[in-house]
Structure 1
Amino acid sequence: MTTWKSRSFIFAAALIVAAQIIASEPVFAEVPADVLASLKKHCAECHGSESAEANLRIDQLTGDLTDRENALKWIEIRNAINLGEMPPDGEPPLPVDIISQTSEWVSGELRELERSQSRSDKQVRLRRLNRHEYTNTVSDLLSMKFPTGESPLDTLPPDGTAEGFDKVSTALMVDPSLMTHYYRVARRIADRAIVDGSPEYPTETMRLEFEEIADSHAIGYLVTRRGMNPVPGGLQLIEGSTRSFGMLRYPGRKDNNVAPTNGFYRFTIRAGGAPGIDGEVPRIRLKHSHPDDSMQTIMEYDVTAPWDSPTDTTVTIPRDTLGGELSIEILNDTKLSMGQRPGENFMRRINEVGEAGDFAESLRLAGRKIAEGWGGERSTPDPEKLDLTKFPRVFLDHLEVEGPLYDQWPPKSHTTVLFRGEAGTDDLAYAREILLRLLPIAWRRPMDEREVEPILGVIQSELENGETFHEAIRVGLAATLTSPNFLYLAEGNGNDADNSVLTNHEIASRMSYFLWSSMPDQELFRAAKDDELIDPKQRKRQVERMLADPKMDRFVDSFARQWLQTDTFLTFTPDRSLYREYDEKLAEAFVREPLEFFREILRSNRSVLNFLDSDFVVINDRLARHYGIDDVSGEEFRKVDLPPDSVRGGLLAMAGVHQAGSDGTRTKPVSRAVYVREVLFNNPPDPPPPNAGEVEPNIQGQRLTVRERLLQHQQIEACAACHRSLDPYGLALENFNVVGQWREKQDGENFRGRNLPVIDASGRLPNGNEFTGFEDFRALLLQQSDRFRRSLSEKVFVYAFGRPVGPEDDATLNRVVTDMKAEGDTFRALIQSIVTSQAFVSR
């Protein structure tokens, strides 16, 4: 089954119009007669009242474009025939003049609808801040950074979503349970924001000198392998990892927890190194224990400093009191093991490359093993042959932990609220000043002085009950952060002259929550106060400034994450016995790649059409190895030009997309097709009917490819219509396996050995265009660039406005697409067009 957004529905919607001619009472008197006659000729046979494909009856559509659903269908009809997608493949095309006449009529009616909507009275529009916006707003308002476990994101429940985003008002409901969460969070924020006296735990520096462990009773505890041993001035590490550091603890504490309280801590390792005989550079990984009992990596880097000139490498992280002890580990890429079974890891490496078919590498490793002194798998190395200088070595000088760190004391949050310093025990006049200063910023609008009275009354009640001034202000701050004025974005209640136009302060908030997921900054507040933001030129100037601000990373982390659905990439974990190269680092890179690609497109002002196909990727060394791309080193993501013969480029060549469209052992073309249609074309199919079933895995002894099983599935009558317009988008990606590697032959499931089936990634799109494989398919997607532009514009529009697209938005979206094409198809042009539109300053 398909939705009205799908091509089959669009065509069927056109049929509905034609059927009205047959109805006893004409309802399309305003529709041009030639359009009706042509639609009847091309559509009525398949979608009349007696036979309605896609479960649609043609006599159920009216010509009334004030009906939202009806108008949306007309928009899709117009767009589909303009793009040549309808009628479908095999049907006679509509005459050119009918296409033009239909488009002009629909667009004209929608313009009139837009004008009538702007003339009508509108109610105040409310949207609750989602938990990311709430956290960012508190952080910006009070200049607060949240340690692990103390961010509102750690406490508030996940938000609802609609239209693919957690910013749509209809999905952001509030109930008593959620308000309880908000009050607890606000109270915790207030307790941390306003402090009493000196910090309970002052900043301390704790250091472990590795040379000291040689004379310590801890030597046997810390150094457990032959590749770790004390050397003059420190510790030599070749493989494995040191154990916990009981010698490193916060002063005054008997346990070995170096983090006495939640906060930020600075970790510094001073180390040097010596590469192996083959030039391999040693690599350090610093881990700390996490409350979930896992060991979390907080620093990882190649040691390039010389052995005799070690240098410092530092990282600052949030750490909580449950963190526990530390561990340092060297990543030994040589697979050398000096434990109880010295040859085990080496033999595993030999076996792995052998199974992978690289027999030359397997023989090389086996020969090296013998030459370096190893015997059988359980043997002990020959000391005369084993030369440790051949291997990458690290010299550890010291480890230093500093914390908890404070930007200042009292913290900035304290001095922001108590802007005039300390006060007496019952200084209500000062409390009033605090509220008059704080509330207009927190509530993001000018306010009447009388609005402070309810919260001032709460503060007064606390003081009368014997609480300190600080405690009373904390209660007042918690009340401020749980007020509807803070929790909600309200539009349309502050402009008496024209309630269809937003106030300057409402425009400022709409801009800041669109691009920064937070409250306006001082410059936006100033522009609002000076009535500048009603002017589209001034909004354009502000957008240029905002795009250059580091807070634009929030747009990537919010909009891009949800649009590209990266949260779904790791739903299924690949079978490690089938995909041995898959690990946590690769999984992390899968999720980050599309986000870093998006960041590059945005920052460098590149064309959004690169999502359909590109001659570059944005990757790190781990992904480069996975993709077979040379000369990329380091964990940081960077733009890398693709070699001419690479299959990579664009969103659909990214490995994370293919893992999301898999179940861990096999690919799932239908899931991949749904992703393509949702993300690239904003055209999701309907959910399958209850009796549709699933494309089953192979049973024992069968060797049917996923494509063959999918074709069998299409024989189910209830599924055939939907799959014809869906499956090609997924089968085109079949050359990518579960972990996004390119394959010519079937793998995964029970496909092993020789004579494996060759992948067939050919197909025919619903518009009749045929492709022989992924490259052809990607080229056909580029031919649908207008469809992609419209889809992306709709996605950004929903995100910016916090509501679904309506028929009255059609003209605005058409202008956005036109503006974007004229300016090189950049996100900058798309964003500027939306923000400078009249719709952006209207309710």
Structure 2
Amino acid sequence: MSTKIRNDGRSQLRGHGSLALILAWISLLSPMHAADPGGKPVAHDASTYTNSVVPFLRQHCIACHGEGEANASLRLDQLQPDFSVPESAARWAEVMDQINLGQMPPPEEPPPELEQLGEVADWIAAGVRSEERRRVGSGGRSLLRRMNRTEYANTIRDLLSIRFLPGESPQDLLPPDGTVDGFDKVSTGLMVDPSLLENYFELATRLAEQAVVDGPPEFPTQTIRFELEDTAANRAIDYLCANPGIECREHDILLMDHSTRSFGEMKYGDTKKEIPVAGFYRIRVRVWGTRGADGKPVRMQVRQQHPQQDRQLLIESDVTDEPQVYELLTARDPKCGEYSVSIVNGSAFQQSSPVGAKLFQAQREAAERDDFEAALRLQSRQQLEALTRAKPTPESADTSQFPKLYVDWIECEGPLYEQWPPKSHQALLFRGEGAVLNAEYVDAIFERLMRRAFRRPVSPEEVESITEGVKAEIADGEPFNQAVRNGLATVLCSPKFLYLIESEASSLPNSERDSLQAISDWGLATRLSYFLWSSMPDDELFDLARAGRLRDSGELVRQVDRMLADPKVDGLVEGFGRQWLKTDAILAFAPSERVYRDYTPKLGEAMVAEPLAFFKEVLQRDESAIAFIDSDWTMLNQPLAELYGIAGVEGDHFRRVQLSSESPRGGLLGMAGVAMAGSDGIRTKPVSRGAYVRNVLFNDPPNPPPPNVGEVEPNIRGEKLTVRERLIQHQQLASCAACHRRIDCYGLALENFNVIGQWRTVQDGEGFRGSNSPTIDASGVLPNGEAFETWAEFKQLLLKQEERFAQGLAEKMFTYATGRSVEVSDRSRIDALVSHMADHHYTLRSLIHAIVSSDPFLQK
């Protein structure tokens, strides 16, 4: 793929930029197979159709939707049970919607039995799902697929040793990937269109410019320190010393309220800039504190001004009684403004006006009972009488009772560089700055690069397809480094890089499908690394592939164990764990700050992290995956432990915590994030929670709801019905009851957890307050007829379904590992995976071992 010079010194593909790129893709992809994903339609449960569906239609439907009486132009007497015909599938879906809405049969007709309604709706839903799976299926083959954006970012990280700043990673710059069966790894969901090719082209150019540099950095590393005793002498910020909550002293500054900030700039030549360029900076602050009357440690925050709220808080920590330096390495950019140090628990200083404090409390209570008129009236009085909390009267306060934060200095060092030239530059131009810049060096550069980028040996012709253009640019006067950048961008746009191409090794002589081929060791190394690391193979996998030893079963198991112990296993945690456990849904609705005051954005981050930390602990300690149903431990940091009422956990890092026998925690469903994902910020949503349990724990999602059917409605004014009571009203229609009885029981069992996952025994939220609120009823009956009265009994019943859980987990991980949906022909393979797990205490590691040793993983 050759290039030509543009007037600005950069290059583009011959032709017309991305158009030429598209044509090149077509030519390069033409020899690669793109198998028909469909396969033959599979007959759908003929016995249920004959014994249940047909009699139901005859008894309740044909009279109005038969010959000569086709209401709504819907003929059911001629409707065939073939979901592979679009018109037929659409008609069946319409029948299911009308049944679920309770509009068919009409009210004047004899009502069908609940069991009969459910059986017909289930048969139709299963037919629709079966046809959808057939359409996106692959006939049992793992098809050619491109990297998703997470894999692309990780691969660039490992290929070029580039460290990305927030907002500049390929994950941030590429559009979201399509998902199939809940994962962004399935080939049929990872299509490529011209707009995506344009994204790849622009991103490759940017990455190449970052990877290869010219000369020293524009902004060398510098350090600025501001001594806080200089605050009073600095006219730009001396107003801080006049604040009654701040005292400027001889060697430091004392905070009882508000915050203090730094003042300084880095000098580059004749210019001064606080943050000259986007990069990594080290922030340090020397502080200590004295506790207030409550005896709690003094808590300090270091913040920066930034348009993105999630990038404003830099450091938050309890401080010691002795001076200590607290520091953080963080990304900063020119959009960052000043940064400041504040005391977090010094708000008591602002309550020194007794009248103002009482008015403020009255205002808050009025807002809690939704009396907004009274709240506004009280707020206005505070403002008129200068009694707001922002105008304290410190002369009436005993300041010895307040916590105090002492700040000595604030320091910023940066921009920081791991090394210069960066690792990417040194890896590509591996002969160093004194190398002879000739054609032979160009060939060597790109042979090394392309072998790793394409994840296999490359032919001289493939190397020449890149180096021909690079050499031509150099001959035309392009600087050597720029020509290499152009060649690198071309490699990063190649489908041989962007697609996970798994070359075939040899035919399988007695294969059950002639089309199945064993993949080469190079292809196996690629499939293994993108399964467990979401990134390219490392040198050890490449060496084993080169030696032809990776396929050996003993070696394959050893490599799995090695890879699971590597830090890059976070690719599996963030890839499979995040999508399986649906942690992206946890922060979909922000809880009402007025109702749930214990919630903070930092707590929300911990809620997302807990399930992933739990997954990683189960994986790396080789523990039973049944712990996701129930366990006597969990992973906590301080914010979550405080929410759960568990003492002795300090700091933001997660660690394993043993739970008491009385704790309702333990297992996935006891985590606050799961509770919040099944809420809307005001009230709990048992239907959503029930669907989550069925989908995540059992891979058994409920049937799709009828059109325009939302969640249970909130209470109207004057009404005080619990969510359970409103659900019972919703189930008065037999059609609704048929579906909800298989969902609601799972969600109502979680009703002891409120919107933010706190344990409750009485209702809260939606206007419920105090001990007079209704008691939580978490009882129910599972679809198999087993009843439970409490949350603890519910978890015991789930533990009895460990094989069902293992089957759902095996199906999910099989899809993630192979990049294709589970098909009917995979039934025996899934059963074998479950059996292997059962023989090895249901560990995730045993499931992974079984998958990578199975034919679907070793073949294409």
TM tier relative to shorter chain? 0.7 to 0.9
Matches of 2:293 and 2:799 in 1, distance apart? 49
Match of 2:327 among 290, 314, 334: 314
SS at match of 1:646: coil
Residue identity matched to 2:481 = H
Contact 1:537-1:836 within 8 A present in 2 as well: no
- Residue 341 of structure 2 is matched in structure 1 by 328
Unaligned runs of 5+ in 2: 1-42, 63-73, 90-112, 117-136, 370-386, 510-515
- Residue 273 of structure 1 is matched in structure 2 by 289
Once the 2 structures are TM-superposed, how far is the Cα of residue 354 of structure 1 from its aligned partner? 12
Calculate the aligned-residue CA RMSD, in Å.
Answer: 3.5
Structure 1 residue 198 corresponds to structure 2 residue 228: no
Structure 1 residue 677 corresponds to structure 2 residue 694: yes
Once the 2 structures are TM-superposed, how far is the Cα of residue 356 of structure 1 from its aligned partner? 10
Match of 1:386 among 362, 377, 398: 398
SS at match of 2:200: helix
- Residue 511 of structure 1 is matched in structure 2 by 528
Once the 2 structures are TM-superposed, how far is the Cα of residue 544 of structure 1 from its aligned partner? 1.0
Call closer, same or farther: CA 1:335–1:377 in 2, change over 3 Å.
Answer: closer
SS at match of 1:491: coil
TM-score normalised according to structure 2 size? 0.79
SS at match of 2:348: coil
Query: Equivalent residues in 2 for 1:431-442 (5 A)?
Result: 431-442=442-453
Query: Equivalent residues in 2 for 1:454-469 (5 A)?
Result: 454-469=465-480
Once the 2 structures are TM-superposed, how far is the Cα of residue 59 of structure 1 from its aligned partner? 11
Contact 1:342-1:379 within 8 A present in 2 as well: no
Report the more deviating stretch, 170-179 or 207-216.
207-216
Structure 1 residue 17 corresponds to structure 2 residue 47: yes
SS at match of 2:652: coil
SS at match of 1:833: helix
Contact 1:341-1:378 within 8 A present in 2 as well: no
SS at match of 1:242: strand
- Residue 297 of structure 1 is matched in structure 2 by 313
Question: Which deviations, in whole Å up to 9, do the C-alpha atoms of 1:137-178 show, x marking residues without a partner?
Answer: 011011110123322122111111111111111111111101
Contact 2:687-2:711 within 8 A present in 1 as well: no
Matches of 1:57 and 1:766 in 2, distance apart? 32
Contact 1:16-1:58 within 8 A present in 2 as well: no
Matches of 1:261 and 1:528 in 2, distance apart? 42
Contact 1:48-1:58 within 8 A present in 2 as well: no
Contact 1:733-1:774 within 8 A present in 2 as well: yes
Structure 1 residue 545 corresponds to structure 2 residue 562: yes
SS at match of 2:833: helix
Residue identity matched to 1:322 = K
- Residue 478 of structure 1 is matched in structure 2 by 489
Query: Equivalent residues in 2 for 1:340-359 (5 A)?
Result: none
Once the 2 structures are TM-superposed, how far is the Cα of residue 796 of structure 1 from its aligned partner? 1.1
Once the 2 structures are TM-superposed, how far is the Cα of residue 48 of structure 1 from its aligned partner? 8.7
Structure 1 residue 604 corresponds to structure 2 residue 621: yes
Report the more deviating stretch, 288-297 or 550-559.
288-297
Question: Which deviations, in whole Å up to 9, do the C-alpha atoms of 1:561-604 show, x marking residues without a partner?
Answer: 11111111111122222222222122222212211221222222
Structure 1 residue 704 corresponds to structure 2 residue 721: yes
Contact 1:206-1:250 within 8 A present in 2 as well: no
SS at match of 2:229: helix
SS at match of 1:538: helix
Q: Any runs of at least 4 consecutive aligned residues in structure 1 with deviations exceeding 6 A, and if so which?
A: 43-53, 55-62, 88-91, 339-343, 349-357, 375-379, 423-426, 496-499
Match of 1:264 among 280, 291, 304: 280
Query: Equivalent residues in 2 for 1:557-568 (5 A)?
Result: 557-568=574-585
- Residue 127 of structure 1 is matched in structure 2 by 145
Call closer, same or farther: CA 1:416–1:691 in 2, change over 3 Å.
Answer: closer
Once the 2 structures are TM-superposed, how far is the Cα of residue 339 of structure 1 from its aligned partner? 9.2
SS at match of 1:533: coil
SS at match of 2:743: helix
Call closer, same or farther: CA 1:501–1:647 in 2, change over 3 Å.
Answer: same
- Residue 366 of structure 1 is matched in structure 2 by none
Structure 1 residue 233 corresponds to structure 2 residue 246: no
Question: Which deviations, in whole Å up to 9, do the C-alpha atoms of 1:67-108 show, x marking residues without a partner?
Answer: xx9xxxxxxxxxxxxxxxxxx9999xxxxxxxxxxxxxxxxx
- Residue 365 of structure 1 is matched in structure 2 by none
Call closer, same or farther: CA 1:128–1:251 in 2, change over 3 Å.
Answer: same
SS at match of 1:284: strand
Call closer, same or farther: CA 1:453–1:185 in 2, change over 3 Å.
Answer: same
Matches of 1:235 and 1:19 in 2, distance apart? 80
Question: Which deviations, in whole Å up to 9, do the C-alpha atoms of 1:253-302 show, x marking residues without a partner?
Answer: 766x5321121111112223333354321122112233436761122222
Match of 2:747 among 730, 754, 769: 730
Residue identity matched to 1:336 = A
Report the more deviating stretch, 395-404 or 517-526.
395-404
Query: Equivalent residues in 2 for 1:393-432 (5 A)?
Result: 393-422=404-433, 427-432=438-443
SS at match of 1:501: strand
- Residue 141 of structure 1 is matched in structure 2 by 159
Contact 1:343-1:376 within 8 A present in 2 as well: no
- Residue 160 of structure 1 is matched in structure 2 by 178
Contact 2:231-2:238 within 8 A present in 1 as well: no
Structure 1 residue 523 corresponds to structure 2 residue 540: yes
Matches of 1:706 and 1:341 in 2, distance apart? 42
Once the 2 structures are TM-superposed, how far is the Cα of residue 756 of structure 1 from its aligned partner? 2.5
TM-score normalised according to structure 1 size? 0.81
Matches of 1:345 and 1:299 in 2, distance apart? 30
Report the more deviating stretch, 468-477 or 451-460.
451-460
Matches of 2:484 and 2:388 in 1, distance apart? 73
Matches of 1:701 and 1:618 in 2, distance apart? 42
Matches of 1:253 and 1:228 in 2, distance apart? 35
Matches of 1:294 and 1:221 in 2, distance apart? 28
Contact 2:158-2:535 within 8 A present in 1 as well: yes
Once the 2 structures are TM-superposed, how far is the Cα of residue 378 of structure 1 from its aligned partner? 9.0
Structure 1 residue 446 corresponds to structure 2 residue 460: no
Contact 1:259-1:319 within 8 A present in 2 as well: yes
Matches of 1:382 and 1:521 in 2, distance apart? 64
- Residue 766 of structure 2 is matched in structure 1 by 749
Contact 2:232-2:241 within 8 A present in 1 as well: no
Once the 2 structures are TM-superposed, how far is the Cα of residue 230 of structure 1 from its aligned partner? 2.5
Structure 1 residue 501 corresponds to structure 2 residue 518: yes
- Residue 690 of structure 1 is matched in structure 2 by 707
- Residue 731 of structure 2 is matched in structure 1 by 714
Report the more deviating stretch, 267-276 or 467-476.
267-276
Matches of 1:561 and 1:699 in 2, distance apart? 37
Question: Which deviations, in whole Å up to 9, do the C-alpha atoms of 1:754-798 show, x marking residues without a partner?
Answer: 643222221111111111122211111111111001111111111
Once the 2 structures are TM-superposed, how far is the Cα of residue 427 of structure 1 from its aligned partner? 2.4
Contact 2:143-2:819 within 8 A present in 1 as well: no
Once the 2 structures are TM-superposed, how far is the Cα of residue 225 of structure 1 from its aligned partner? 2.9
Matches of 1:44 and 1:736 in 2, distance apart? 40
Call closer, same or farther: CA 1:502–1:820 in 2, change over 3 Å.
Answer: same
Call closer, same or farther: CA 1:604–1:345 in 2, change over 3 Å.
Answer: farther
Report the more deviating stretch, 752-761 or 780-789.
752-761
Contact 1:281-1:304 within 8 A present in 2 as well: yes
Contact 2:264-2:274 within 8 A present in 1 as well: no
Once the 2 structures are TM-superposed, how far is the Cα of residue 385 of structure 1 from its aligned partner? 6.0
Matches of 1:811 and 1:58 in 2, distance apart? 36
- Residue 653 of structure 1 is matched in structure 2 by 670
